[in-house]
Amino acid sequence: MTTHLLRGASPLGGAATDVLLADGRVAALGADARSGADAGTVTVDADGLVLLPGLVDLHTHLREPGREDAETVRSGTRAAAAGGFTAVHAMANTSPVADTAGVVEQVWRLGRDAGWVDVFPVGAVSVGLAGTQLAELGAMAHSAARVRVFSDDGQCVHDPVLMRRALEYVKAFDGVIAQHAQEPRLTVGAQMHEGAVSAEVGLAGWPAVAEEAIIARDVLLAEHVGSRLHVCHLSTAGSVEIVRWAKARGIAVTAEVTPHHLLLTDELARTYDPLYKVNPPLRTAEDVEALREALADGTIDIVATDHAPHTREDKDCEWAAAAFGMTGLETALPIVATTLVETGRMTWADVARVLSSAPARIGRVDTGPTPQGRPVAVGEPANLTLVDPAARWTVEPRQLRSASTNTPYGGRELSGRVVATFLRGRPTVLDGAPVDTDLDGTDPR
Ligand SMILES: NC(=O)N[C@@H](CC(=O)O)C(=O)O
Ligand SMILES: [Zn+2]
Ligand SMILES: [Zn+2]
């Protein structure tokens, strides 16, 4: 395989150095990297670029099987690579639902064959996401897909007995339950955040307490059975307080925030544009500030995209009829850079933690056959992302690579752009563009 020399890269934003990638690994750093290069080595000019461990998304909807009109494993993982990711966890709310070893193995194989990133399937907690009967968690864990993250995402595991059993069950293989925290009885017909704006625009409200009540219950259940809980897309200041309390108490809880909840507010619902319709809903400016602060201080562990592609038919309609969700793989890193690095609240080392090492650790993919989220160090797998921190760019929805165009960021200017991505030493993105197979069939990757 071709060796690559990244010349003048800044690992985690630190001092510039040369980095040699050979045999799928970081082979050498500094002067050793230059002397290790040979005539066949491809040099990448990384002057002024920040080198990060390849990003790991704990929460991606790839829609295959079942909704290949919105996204496929291939199109979604190509978008992921363009966004700087080398691994994604594929959510289970597909059709059929990923609630058996057969379906998770199918998704895992599709990911491997596409070759853009490592795809780690998430297994459903309950059969058909119906919330009544535990799915075959053990069979999924012991399948080729080695599932460790289980979630009914899209639905909340609202039955406390089922949630307790799931938390107990996954202890056997060090798994984690990722909960979509939404008390269904408090959110019947809900369209947006419940507050002053929902009252003004006349859309049914989704109260913060519907999220907070489930998180409070679940951290207590996790403590009771001594298991691991992960909170998906936490969105309110009150949820932050509960997670902070649980962590102080020593409960094994981790939490994620999405880029959109770090940037956008419920004021956008005044447009009635369904691009801003998402679950959980965009909250208030006070919530956004609490989420930024909690990410910076470590109360929130990670940023996860909740990339949720939808077709035009499902999004280009009146607000109440539109699907919940927005795409996010290619804008995640720039939003974190814009909201937290540019403002001086986080360093690039922090970014590496919240978008790579911590999500890999939560999903238990930092070890195993294809380790992810590892440090940028000699001997580690060369899963790497080069970012131009100075680049400013305007989001043009049609230029993004997802098969769906439901991004809420069209026309918005963001800082930080992914220049190159390497998966085990092989470039999947160069000069900001995915490295596609040549038309003559040879694969330059
Ligand atoms: N986030 C969303 O608004 N939608 C997600 C489901 C989910 O993450 O709950 C989807 O699958 O479309
Ligand atoms: Zn969800
Ligand atoms: Zn989701």
Question: Residue 266 has what DSSP assignment?
Answer: G
Pocket perturbation via mutation, ligand 1, pick of 57, 183, 306, 327 by most ligand atoms within 8 A of CB: 306
62 is in an annotated binding site: yes
Residue 388 tokens read as 């131009």
pLDDT for 304 equals: 99
Tens-of-pLDDT digits for all 445 residues of the chain?
Answer: 899 999 999 999 999 999 999 999 999 999 999 999 999 999 999 999 999 999 999 999 999 999 999 999 999 999 999 999 999 999 999 999 999 999 999 999 999 999 999 999 999 999 999 999 999 999 999 999 999 999 999 999 999 999 999 999 999 999 999 999 999 999 999 999 999 999 999 999 999 999 999 999 999 999 999 999 999 999 999 999 999 999 999 999 999 999 999 999 999 999 999 999 999 999 999 999 999 999 999 999 999 999 999 999 999 999 999 999 999 999 999 999 999 999 999 999 999 999 999 999 999 999 999 999 999 999 999 999 999 999 999 999 999 999 999 999 999 999 999 999 999 999 999 999 999 975 444 544 4
CA–CA separation, 434 vs 113, rounded Å? 16
Tell me, in angstroms, the distance from the centre of ligand 3 to residue 233's CA.
8
Find out if CATH 3.40.50.2300 is the number for domain 54-362. no
Query: What DSSP element (H or E) covers 43?
Result: strand 42-45
Residue 158 tokens read as 């609202």
What one-letter code names the amino acid at 119?
V
CA–CA separation, 193 vs 208, rounded Å? 7
Q: Which atom of ligand 1 lies at the shortest distance from residue 59's CA?
A: 8
End-to-end distance of the chain based on CA atoms, in angstroms?
9
Query: What DSSP element (H or E) covers 351?
Result: helix 348-352
- CA nearest to 110, candidates 149, 77, 143: 77
The pocket of ion ligand 3, defined by CB under 5 A, consists of 153, 306
Taking the CA of 93 as reference, the closest ligand is 1
pLDDT for 444 equals: 44
DSSP letter for each residue of 108-175: HHHHHHH-SSEEEEPBPSBGGG-SSSB--HHHHHTSTT---EE--TTS----HHHHHHHHHHHGGGT-
Sheet containing 253-257: which strands, arranged edge to edge? 149-150, 176-179, 229-231, 253-257, 302-303
Name the residue ranges covered by the structural domains of the chain: 4-51+378-434, 54-362
- CA nearest to 5, candidates 418, 372, 422, 428: 422
Distance between alpha carbon 358 and the CA centroid of its chain, in Å? 11
pLDDT for 445 equals: 41
Distance between alpha carbon 127 and the CA centroid of its chain, in Å? 24
ipTM of this complex prediction, to 2 decimal places: 0.99
pLDDT for 437 equals: 73
- CA nearest to 418, candidates 142, 54, 151, 92: 54
What one-letter code names the amino acid at 255?
A
pLDDT for 289 equals: 98
CATH code matching the domain that covers 4-51+378-434, chosen among 2.60.60.20, 2.60.34.10, 1.10.490.10, 2.30.40.10:
2.30.40.10
pLDDT for 438 equals: 55
* Residue whose CA lies nearest to ligand 1 atom number 9: 154
- The angle formed by the CA atoms of residues 304, 309 and 314, to the nearest 5 degrees, is 140
What residues flank ligand 1, with Cβ below 6 Å? 61, 93, 153-154, 180, 278-279, 306, 308, 324-325
* Residue whose CA lies nearest to ligand 1 atom number 3: 325
